[in-house]
Structure 1
Amino acid sequence: MNIPESHLAQEAIAALVDGELAGGPAARAARHLAGCAQCRMAVQAQREAKDALHTCSEVAVPGDLLSRLCAIPFTADVPGAGGGLSAGPGQLTVSGPTGSWSVPLTPPPPAAERPGHARWLRRGVAGTIAGLGLGVTVLALGLPADVPDTDPREPASVAGSSSEQRTEIAPPVVRSIILDTTVGRPGGTP
């Protein structure tokens, strides 16, 4: 069985030179480099390019590079069955066999910029406080105004009874019964 020889991918070589490969993949790459002269040359070329960039005093980067990089997901062809992906100014549109929908790409305005938001919040808090105040007032007005004076030494009367009738609580009566257990035993007294 012959396994076709594979080489390190360019991304793996760049990650290895930059020190971004984890322990396991880095060990596999080192084992591969021990037996592959072509990949060793590619790693050496990547190291030389990295050193050249670090020693260069000026690197000219186009001003619109960042915007072009951010536009790649919107301008790249997306394979799909009858659907499409298109980007317009400020929105991303996805269309397919069931219809299309769009997603706005501009962030929503911050809370401070939404007109009237703070006003509605203040009105809600003020309404809540007013409702609580009204509820306390209604509760206070519904309480009885006259509380009859009662003598704390008198026992409380039973509900529905007149002032002449009283109920007194008596402690329970405990009775003791002594049984003679000697009756019917041999040698016991009759």
Structure 2
Amino acid sequence: MSIPVSHLAQEAIAALADGELPSGPAARAARHLSGCLQCRLAVEAQREAKEALHGSRDVAVPGDLMSRLCAIPFTTDVPGSGGDGLGNLTAGPEGLTVSGTSGAWSVDLQPEKVDHRSGHARWLRRGLAGTMIGLGAGVTALALTLPASGAPGPEPRGPVAGPSTPEQHTEIIPPIVRTVTVGTSATTTAPGGTP
């Protein structure tokens, strides 16, 4: 029984030549290279190519190369495959055109424009309705948790410290403005008001 000889993959050869192969695979590759002349020659050729690239000058690329490469699918005529009767296939920016002895037909490659406005208004209405429902629920919850007007609030627990000096407060009760001094019994009434 003979085991077929396997060789290093191209990726492994390039990684070994660049020194990027991890230690475990690098050790296995070194063991393989000790007994395989074909792989040793491939690694040596890869190292020579690497050195040649590092020693060369920068390559000048024409400025319009990228635009010419991108235009190839749209400007190249592709001949038909012979006896199947398809004729010639032409690719252009507007679509594919097949022409032959029986006539020509084309396939439009432009994306179909879809009007999203009809669905947009529906989502806007749904969002507005959801917002109004949320606000209504919030107001209802707030109204249920607030004490009724005139109802006594919770009694304070423990001692409550008050101000040590009299303070003035202005109480506005339409149409009367009163100035009340806390800590004394004097009450002053503004002009036009009632005592």
Tell me the TM-score normalised to structure 1 length: 0.38
The structure that has the greater radius of gyration is 1
Tell me the TM-score normalised to structure 2 length: 0.37
Between Structure 1 and Structure 2, the one with more strand by share is: 2
